[in-house]
Chain A
Amino acid sequence: MLRLIANTRTNICFRGITRAMLAAAAVAITLMAAPIVQAVPQKGGVANIAMIGEPQTLDPMSSTADLVGTIMQHVYELLYTYDANSNVVPMLAEALPTVSKDGLVYTIALRHGVKFHNDKEMTSEDVVASLERWMQMAPRGKAVAKEVKSVEAKGPYTIVITLNRPYAPLVAHLALSNGFAAIMAKDSIANPLTQFVGTGPYMFKERKPDQYVQLVRFEGYSARKEPASGYGGKREALLDELRFIPVPNANTRVEGMLAGQYQFADVLPVEAYSRLENAPNVKPVLTSPFGFPYMVLNTKQGPLVNVTLRQSVEAGLNNADMMAAAFGDKKFYDTDPNHYAKNTPFYSTAGTENYGKGDAKKAAALAATAKYDGTPIRILTSQQYDFHYRIALVMAENLKAAGYKVDMQVVDWSTLIQRRNDPALWDIYITHSAVLPEPTLTPPQLGDGAPGWWSSPGKDAALAAFNAEANPKKRAALWGDVQRVVFTEVPYIRIGDFNNLTARSTKLDGYVAMPWPFFWNTGLSK
Chain B
Amino acid sequence: MIRYLASRLAGMVIVMLIVATLVFIITRLAPGDPAAVMLGEQATAADIAKLRGTYGLDQPLPVQFAYWLSELAHGNLGQSIFLQRPVTQALAERAEPTFFLTVFALGIAMLIGIPSGIVAAVWRGKAVDHAFSAFAMLGASIPSFWFGLVLMEIFAVGLGWFPVAGYGDPGVPLSNRLYHLILPSIVLGVVNSALILRFTRASMLDVLGEDHIRTARAKGMSEARVVLHHALRNALIPVITVVGLTFALLIGGAIVTETVFGLPGVGNLVVSAVLRRDYPVIQGALLVIAGLYVLINLSIDLMYLVIDPRVKY
Contacts and interface: CB of A to CB of B under 8 A. Distances in A.
Do A and B assemble together?
Answer: yes
A139 B156 contact: no
A158 B77 CA distance: 48
A259 B43 contact: no
9 contacts: A57-B84, A62-B39, A139-B47, A179-B40, A209-B264, A255-B164, A414-B31, A417-B32, A417-B37
Interface stretch (B188-196, B211-219, B242-250, B272-280): B272-280
A354 interface: no
Contacts of A12: 271-272, 275-276
**Residue of A261, A431, A449 ringed by the most chain B CB atoms within 10 A:** A261
B84 A16 contact: no
Contacts of A252: 149, 152, 164-165, 260-262
B147 interface: no
Contacts of B153: 255
A450 B39 CA distance: 13
Contact of B166 (A64, A261, A413): A261
B42 A421 contact: no
Given A16-B42, A56-B38, A142 B47 contact: yes
A418 B32 contact: yes
Nearest to B271: A12
Interface string B98-123: 00000000000000000000000000
B33 interface: yes
B40 to A, nearest CB: 3
Interface string A254-289: 011011110000000000000000000000000000
Interface string A137-160: 001101100000000000000000
B160 A139 contact: no
B278 to A, nearest CB: 9
A301 interface: no
A419 B31 contact: yes
Given A249-B262, A252-B164, A444-B41, A418 B36 contact: yes
A212 B262 CA distance: 11
Given A444-B41, A444-B42, 10 more contacts: A16-B41, A64-B41, A139-B42, A212-B170, A248-B268, A249-B259, A255-B156, A261-B164, A419-B31, A450-B44
B157 A211 contact: no
Given A8-B145, A64-B41, A255-B152, A421 B262 contact: no
B174 to A, nearest CB: 14
Interface stretch (A87-95, A239-247, A324-332): A239-247
A140 B268 CA distance: 31
Given A261-B163, A414-B32, A56 B45 contact: no
Contacts of A139: 39-40, 42-44, 47
Contacts of A259: 156-157, 160, 163-164
A251 interface: yes
Contacts of A460: none
Contacts of B165: 247, 249, 252, 255-256, 261
Contacts of B45: 421, 449
B90 to A, nearest CB: 7
B48 A421 contact: yes
A500 interface: no
Q: How large is the interface on B (under 10, 10 to 19, 20 to 34, 35 or more residues)?
A: 35 or more
Nearest to A414: B32
A8 B34 CA distance: 22
A15 B272 CA distance: 13
A414 B41 CA distance: 12
Contact of B90 (A209, A255, A412, A443): A209
Contacts of A245: 166, 262
Nearest to B35: A418
A210 B95 CA distance: 13
B156 A56 contact: no
Given A17-B41, A139-B42, A248-B259, A243 B169 contact: yes
Contacts of A414: 31-34, 36-37, 275-277
Interface in A384-428: 384, 411-415, 417-419, 421
B249 to A, nearest CB: 21
A63 interface: yes
Contacts of A353: none
B72 interface: no
A56 B44 contact: no
Interface string B133-144: 000000000000
B295 to A, nearest CB: 25
A72 to B, nearest CB: 15
A142 B45 CA distance: 13
Contacts of B40: 1, 14-18, 63-65, 139, 179
Contacts of A444: 41-42
**Residue of B38, B41, B261 ringed by the most chain A CB atoms within 10 A:** B41
A54 interface: yes
A433 B41 contact: yes
A142 B44 contact: yes
A255 B272 CA distance: 22
Contacts of B34: 414
B192 to A, nearest CB: 21
